[in-house]
Amino acid sequence: MVLVLALGVVIWSIGALMRVPLRQRFAMLAVLWAAALVINLTLPDGAPLREATGGDARPWAVLGGVVALVLIYRAGLGWLRARVDTPVPVTAAQGGKTSAPAFTETELNRYARHIILREIGGAGQKRLKAAKVLVVGAGGLGSPVLMYLAAAGVGTIGVIDDDSVDGTNLQRQIIHTDARIGMPKVFSAQAQMEALNPFVAVRPYNRRLDPALAEALFAEYDLVLDGTDNFDTRYMVNGVCAKLGKPLISAAITQWEGQIALYDPARGGPCYECLFPERPAPGLVPSCAEAGVIGPLPGVLGSMMAVEAIKQITGAGDGLRGQLLIYDALHGETRRIATHPRAGCMACGGGAPQLAPDDAARAGGA
């Protein structure tokens, strides 16, 4: 076997000196390998030529298999690169920009499972890298949202929250750790996201969101995700997004239930205030601190938010514009309600019916 390998090295070296194309050199090595394999499969044991080529077909078969796997891997990488090089059409989520960022080979490997999805592909992954997404809140819902957006390769991720990590958060806010108790949540989230994916840019805003800041901040982003736990912030975020024409993915949870929707009045959907024109009466929808919440529930709803964000950015599938999805974890039930703009809405000025009071109370939880 050593003799055959030495002969292969000689063939390759002579071919390199004579500037024989790589494909032809590989072809000559393939012929040499095939000859050695055939000799070991056909000649009887002890035959001089078989002994000179190793005396056993199995090592040659293994060698051929390894080389074949390497070639298949290289061909797969070439195919992925070809898909990534597909021109990216302008989307609403990009705000009219035609950015086409390049990928390193490490990124291609990282995002390979996205790129081979027909609905995303290389063009969709480019849109993700070019996108700017702002997440309001780094708590229960923000934790899975931020982790999955970072893992998915969203190029710029902003996160705003003025709270610090507390021990009571760790039952559900999985982006934080015990070692970071007392740290501002946005910096704790940033550390975890950058550790997960160093190819994304994280912008932490350690401050309380107010209307003046919201308008200037939201203008810098293509998409806003709201995972806050109070109605004042939720109505403010909705109003600013409606004013600026920014799509808003918002979710809320309480105890065993959660709801999620895409609010996008600029593109024909309702806004949050279309569905819930008035805040619930005090005590009707208790907060998680008051009523409790099952730990994995924000993970379920937050993951749904990340999925909807990826769909919105890439144009894959059907989003939740004009749909309110309600999830009941206790009974394992999901229901979807069609929604419409509401005439006279103070936030977006939309135009049709609103939810029934029972559905509004159920879906408006913090």
Give the tens place of pLDDT for each residue, 27-52: 877 877 787 777 777 777 777 776 77
Token pair 């000799």: residue: 39
Cross-strand partners of 331:
none
Residue 365 has pLDDT above 50, yes or no: no
Q: Where are the domains of the chain?
A: 2-84, 131-363
- How much is the average pLDDT of 74-91? 57
Q: Cβ contacts of residue 9 below 8 Å, gap of 6+?
A: none
Cα-trace Rg, the chain: 28
Residue 97 has pLDDT above 70, yes or no: no
> Does pLDDT of 92 surpass 60?
no
End-to-end CA gap in the chain: 71
Give the C-alpha separation, 152 to 102, whole Å.
16
What's the residue count for the chain? 366
Question: Can you give the pLDDT at residue 78?
Answer: 66
Note every long-range contact of 37-46, with CB atoms under 8 Å and residues 24 or more positions apart, other chains counting.
37/61, 37/64
How confident is the model over 208-254, as pLDDT tens digits?
Answer: 999 889 999 999 999 999 999 888 999 999 999 999 999 999 999 98
On the question of pLDDT at 205 being above 90, the answer is yes
> Has residue 202 got a pLDDT over 50?
yes
Give, as one character, the DSSP assignment of residue 206: -
Coil, strand or helix at 217: helix
Give residue 363's pLDDT.
43
pLDDT value for 221: 97
Given a cut of 60, whether residue 356 has pLDDT beyond it is: no
pLDDT at 357: 41
Question: Average pLDDT of 127-140?
Answer: 96
What is the fold of 131-363?
Rossmann fold (3.40.50)
Distance CA 347, CA 273 (A): 6
Helices 142-152 and 185-196 meet at what angle, rounded to 10? 30
Q: Take residue 6 and report the two structure tokens written for it.
A: 């030495």
Q: How far apart are CA 3 and CA 60, in angstroms?
A: 13
Statement: residue 161 has pLDDT above 90: yes
189 close to 138: Cβ distance less than 8 angstroms: yes
What's residue 283's pLDDT? Answer: 65
Cα angle 200, 205, 207; round to 5: 165
Q: What integer pLDDT is reported at residue 35 of this predicted model?
A: 78
Distance CA 25, CA 20 (A): 7
- Of 88-97, 273-282, 297-306, the range with the lowest mean pLDDT is 88-97
Q: How confident is the model at residue 181 (pLDDT cuts 50, 70, 90)?
A: very high
Is 355 a residue whose pLDDT tops 80? Answer: no
How would residue 266 be classed by pLDDT, with cut points 50, 70 and 90?
very high
248-254/257-263 β-pairing: antiparallel
Q: How far apart are CA 342 and CA 335, in angstroms?
A: 21
The pTM assigned to this predicted structure is 0.70
Query: DSSP letter string over 93-158?
Result: GGTT--------HHHHHHTHHHHTSTTTHHHHHHHHHH-EEEEE--STTHHHHHHHHHHHT-SEEE
Q: How far apart, in whole angstroms, are the C-alpha atoms of residue 129 and residue 164?
A: 29
Q: Between the CA of residue 244 and those of 237, 238, 323, what are the distances in Å? A: 11, 10, 21
pLDDT score recorded for residue 93: 44
pLDDT in tens, 271-300: 999 999 888 776 666 667 767 889 999 999
Gap between the Cα atoms of 216 and 165, Å rounded: 27
